[in-house]
Structure 1
Amino acid sequence: MPPINLAIVGVGKIARDQHLPSIAGNPDLLLVAAASRNGAVEGIPNFPTIEAMLDAVPFVDAVSLCMPPQFRYDAAYKAICAGKHVFLEKPPGATLSEVADLEALAIEKGVSLFASWHSRYAAAVEAAKSFLVSTNIQSVHVVWKEDVRHWHPNQDWIWQAGGLGVFDPGINALSIITHILPTSIFLRNATLEFPENKHAPIAADLNFTNSDNISVHAEFDWRQLGEQTWDIIAETSAGKMVLAEGGSKLTINDTVIPVSSETEYAALYRQFASLIKRRESDVDLAPLRHVADSFMLGKRVFVAPFHD
Structure 2
Amino acid sequence: MKVALVGIGKIARDQHVPALAASGDWELAATVSRSGTVDGIAAFTDFATMMAERPDIPMVSLCLPPQPRFAYAEAALRAGRHVMLEKPPGQTLAEVHALETLARTMGVTLYTTWHSRMAEAVAAAKAWLADTVVRRAHITWREDVRKWHPGQDWVFEPGGMGVFDPGINALSILTEILPAPVHVTAAVLEFPENRDTPIAAQIGFSGGVSADFDWRQEGPQTWDMEFETDKGPMALRMGGNRLELGGKPAGGVNSIMGEYPALYARMADLVRNGQSEVDLSPMVHVADALTLGKRVTVAAFNF
| TM-score using structure 1 length | 0.96
Query: How far apart, in 1, do the equivalents of 2:94 and 2:19 lie?
Result: 30
Corresponding residue for residue 146 of structure 2:
149
Query: How far apart, in 1, do the equivalents of 2:174 and 2:234 lie?
Result: 13
Corresponding residue for residue 248 of structure 2:
255
Corresponding residue for residue 302 of structure 1:
297
Report Cα offsets for 1:154-188 as digits up to 9, x if no partner.
11100101111100000000000000001111111
Shift of 1:46: 1.0
Alignment of 1:16 with 2:13, yes or no, is: yes
Spell out the pairing of 1:146-225 with structure 2 (5 A cutoff): 146-209=143-206, 214-225=207-218
Shift of 1:195: 0.3
Query: How far apart, in 2, do the equivalents of 1:6 and 1:133 lie?
Result: 37
Give the letter aligned to residue 303 of structure 1.
Answer: V
Alignment of 1:121 with 2:118, yes or no, is: yes
Corresponding residue for residue 48 of structure 1:
45
Q: How many residues align?
A: 301
Report Cα offsets for 1:137-161 as digits up to 9, x if no partner.
1110000011111211111100101
Q: Is the 8 A contact 1:5 1:62 kept in 2?
A: yes
Corresponding residue for residue 39 of structure 1:
36
Shift of 1:220: 0.3
Shift of 1:307: 1.6
Q: Mean alpha-carbon deviation: is it higher for 173-182 or for 33-42? A: 33-42
Report SS of the residue matched to 1:190.
strand
Corresponding residue for residue 233 of structure 1:
226
**How large is the RMSD of aligned CA atoms in angstroms?**
1.1
Q: Mean alpha-carbon deviation: is it higher for 134-143 or for 250-259? A: 250-259
Report SS of the residue matched to 1:182.
coil
Shift of 1:19: 0.2
Shift of 1:225: 1.6
Report SS of the residue matched to 1:257.
strand
Shift of 1:65: 0.2
Query: How far apart, in 2, do the equivalents of 1:281 and 1:220 lie?
Result: 30
Query: How far apart, in 2, do the equivalents of 1:28 and 1:303 lie?
Result: 47
Gaps of 5+ in 1: none
Report Cα offsets for 1:63-121 as digits up to 9, x if no partner.
00000000110000010011000000000000000000000000000000000000000
Corresponding residue for residue 279 of structure 1:
274
Identity %: 51
Query: How far apart, in 1, do the equivalents of 2:177 and 2:110 lie?
Result: 22
Q: Is the 8 A contact 1:194 1:300 kept in 2?
A: yes
Q: Is the 8 A contact 2:244 2:251 kept in 1?
A: no
Q: Is the 8 A contact 1:127 1:259 kept in 2?
A: no
Shift of 1:133: 0.6
Query: How far apart, in 1, do the equivalents of 2:187 and 2:85 lie?
Result: 28
Shift of 1:45: 1.4
Corresponding residue for residue 284 of structure 2:
289
Give the letter aligned to residue 195 of structure 1.
Answer: P
